[in-house]
Amino acid sequence: MHKLVFDTSALISLEVANLMKKTSEIFGVFIPKKVHEELKEIANYEDVHGKAANRILKIKRIEIREVREISRHLIYVDEGEAEALELAKEIEADYLICDDYESFWYLSENFEKTVFSVFVVRCLCEKGIISREMGWNFIEMIRERRTWGDNIIYRTAKTLWGREERRER
Per-residue confidence (pLDDT) for residue 17, from 0 to 100: 97
105 lies in some domain? yes
Per-residue confidence (pLDDT) for residue 74, from 0 to 100: 72
The CATH number that applies at residue 101 is 3.40.50.1010
165 lies in some domain? no
Pick the closest to residue 138 from 9, 20, 17, 12 (CA basis).
Answer: 17
168 lies in some domain? no
23 lies in some domain? yes
Per-residue confidence (pLDDT) for residue 163, from 0 to 100: 75
Per-residue confidence (pLDDT) for residue 168, from 0 to 100: 44
**pTM exceeding 0.85:** yes
Which domain covers residue 140, as residue numbers?
3-160
167 lies in some domain? no
51 lies in some domain? yes
68 lies in some domain? yes
Q: Report the domain count for the chain.
A: 1
Q: Cα–Cα distance between 12 and 16 in angstroms, integer?
A: 6
Over residues 50-69, the pLDDT tens digits come to 999 999 999 999 999 999 87
Q: Strands 95-97, 3-6: parallel, antiparallel or unpaired by DSSP?
A: parallel
96 lies in some domain? yes
Q: At what angle do helices 152-160 and 117-126 cross, to 10 degrees?
A: 20
Mean pLDDT of 110-114: 95
What is the side-by-side order of every strand in the sheet holding 114-115?
Answer: 62-65, 28-32, 3-6, 95-97, 114-115
Q: Cα–Cα distance between 22 and 32 in angstroms, integer?
A: 20
